[in-house]
């Protein structure tokens, strides 16, 4: 009887582990799809602003600026940052580029 209990416990643990793994894979797949959606949107926005003569390019210099910018854009797109906060953070880091950040915010959040 003691062996059966151990087998039953092991089976229950295995089923729980498989369920947890499956949930993790589904979450990872959803995250990957969301990431692709963001990448596609950001790529489209970059194309739009490059062809807009009224857009003033933000002077991103180096990996640190690029990483900060990408993180901010991803947070805005994902709803973790408001448009107002995105613009305020951008204007604080790059004074005089408020309009550029506003244009990006509008385009990143547009359907």
Name which of 90, 20, 35, 23 is nearest 60 in CA terms. Answer: 90
The answer, yes or no, to whether residue 54 has pLDDT greater than 80, is: yes
Distances (CA, A) of 102 to 24, 57, 68, 83, 96: 36, 12, 17, 8, 12
- pLDDT over 90 percentage in the chain: 65
pLDDT tier at 78, thresholds 50, 70, 90 = very high
pLDDT of res. 36: 81
pLDDT of res. 39: 92
pLDDT tier at 18, thresholds 50, 70, 90 = very low
Instruction: Tell me the domain boundaries of the chain.
Output: 34-109
């Amino acid at each position: 009887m003691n062996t059966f209990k151990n087998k039953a416990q092991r089976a229950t643990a295995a089923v729980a582990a498989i369920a947890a793994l499956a949930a993790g894979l589904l979450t990872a797949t959803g995250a990957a799809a969301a990431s692709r959606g963001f990448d596609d949107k950001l790529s489209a926005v970059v194309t739009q602003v490059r062809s807009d003569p009224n857009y003033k390019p933000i002077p991103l210099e180096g990996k640190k600026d690029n990483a900060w910018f990408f993180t901010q854009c991803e947070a805005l797109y994902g709803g973790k940052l408001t448009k107002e906060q995105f613009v305020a953070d951008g204007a604080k880091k790059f004074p005089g580029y408020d309009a550029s950040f506003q244009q990006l915010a509008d385009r990143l959040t547009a359907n």
